[in-house]
Amino acid sequence: ALLHENRAMAPAPVCVILEDDAVLVDRFRDRLASLLSQLPRDFHFCSLGYGRPKNAPVIEFSEALGIPTFLWYLTGYVLSREGAKLLLDGLPVVGPVDSWIGLKISSNWENEYGYAIGVGRDARKSRRTGMVQDVSATSGNVLARKDLARLMKFRAFATLVPLCSQKVGQAAAAAFDTSGGVARTQTNQRIIAKWRDRDSDIVYSGVGK
**What is the rounded average pLDDT for all residues in the chain?**
76
Give pLDDT tens digits for 144-161. Answer: 777 787 888 999 999 999
Give pLDDT tens digits for 79-116. Answer: 999 999 999 999 999 999 999 999 999 999 888 778 77
Whether this prediction's pTM lies above 0.85 is answered by no
Positions of the chain with pLDDT under 50: 126-140, 170-178, 192, 195, 207-209
pLDDT of residue 135: 39
pLDDT of residue 49: 93
User: Per-residue DSSP letters for 55-113?
Assistant: TS-EEE-SSSEEEES--EEEEEEEEEHHHHHHHHHTPSP-SSHHHHHHHHHHGGG-SHH
